[in-house]
Amino acid sequence: MLVCCGLLTLDVVQVVDRLPGPDEKVVARSLAATFGGPAANAAATAVALGVPSRLVTAVGEGPLAHAVRADVADAGVELVDALPPARRAEAQPPVSTVLVTAATGERAVVSTNATSSGGLVAGDSDGDAEVDAAALLGPVGPGDVLLLDGHLPAVALPVARRAREAGCVVVLDGGSWKPGSAELMALCDAVVVSADLRVPDVDTAGVLEAVAALGPRFVARTRGPEPVEVLHDGRRSTVPVPVPRRVVDTLGAGDVVHGAFAAALAEGASYGDALERAVAVASRSVEHAGARGWVAEAS
């Protein structure tokens, strides 16, 4: 069983020939509206790979929330709203606007992230008091995996503490340094960061060691098509990234890495084997449009 805790968004994705300049309008080749967010995409990835997944997030109510809920259900992911009932009416899923350049698959993203998620962000002094971590996690134990994406730390921190007490493997998707990142990393067994992550007062060359010093025994850093850097129990290594046949869309490739990595761990794979399997799935994913366009082929 995999539990993913973090961000759920409504993604509005348009494919364009090029990004517009100031005061310029361009016509999109296509438009799609679907759910997104690191934790949500990771959960859907795991389900596509045959691992049951639960998504603990903030979604709220209203038309946008209902549309996102239905889309998540269609992906086979169990959704648990971490918002207290009294906050759900005023909350809505964050919205991301994504422009994908047709020729390269590169994307530009504008997102509200968790700013509309009912107050479950850093700085909530009463966050832990309102979170029933055991209920959100469900019946988990040794062999199960919790994947965090660093968003909604007022939920993530108590859920991570409870998962450790239950004997789960705790994994962090370190896309960027956020408030509460150091505290979350201290609760993790494994952390997979992106090339964009910067640890305060640490140069790029020392990121893996700085993260490992916080507690996790396995730390990896993805770098797009370049080999993944690994620090495992103090030993450095790299994992090569398979070359895709073509690059259609890089949207969500990092989320696929984290979802596939956590899914493999939930199936009993070692950290190294899980990472190799994850980068292979992610390389296949960029050959398709969207974060989950590859799922139909996998099925």
Report the pLDDT value the prediction gives residue 124, as an integer from 0 to 100.
44
For the record, the structure tokens of 179 come out as 């408030």
- pLDDT grade, residue 228 (50/70/90)? very high
| Percentage, residues of the chain above pLDDT 70 | 93
- Mutual angle of helices 271-285 and 253-266, in 10-degree steps: 140
Query: Which whole number is the average pLDDT over 225-248?
Result: 95
Torsion of CA 282, 285, 287, 293, to 10 degrees: -170
User: Model confidence over 113-156: pLDDT tens digits?
Assistant: 655 554 454 434 344 446 899 999 999 999 999 999 999 999 99
| Rounded distance between C-alpha atoms, residue 120 and residue 167, angstroms | 25
Q: Please give the residue that has the higher pLDDT: either 240 or 114.
A: 240
* String of DSSP letters for 93-104: --EEEEEEETTT
Structure tokens at 167: 């004997």
Instruction: Look at residue 284 and tell me whether its pLDDT is greater than 70.
Output: yes
How long, in residues, is the chain? 299
pTM: 0.89
Torsion 181-186-188-192 (CA) sign: positive
Nearest to 154 by CA among 118, 185, 190, 192: 118
Q: If you average pLDDT over residues 237-254, what whole number do you get?
A: 91
* Average confidence (pLDDT) over 178-188: 94
Mean pLDDT across the chain: 91
The contacts of residue 94 (CB under 8 Å, 6+ apart) are: 7, 8, 9, 10, 37, 111, 112, 113, 114, 115, 116, 117
DSSP-assigned letter for residue 125: T
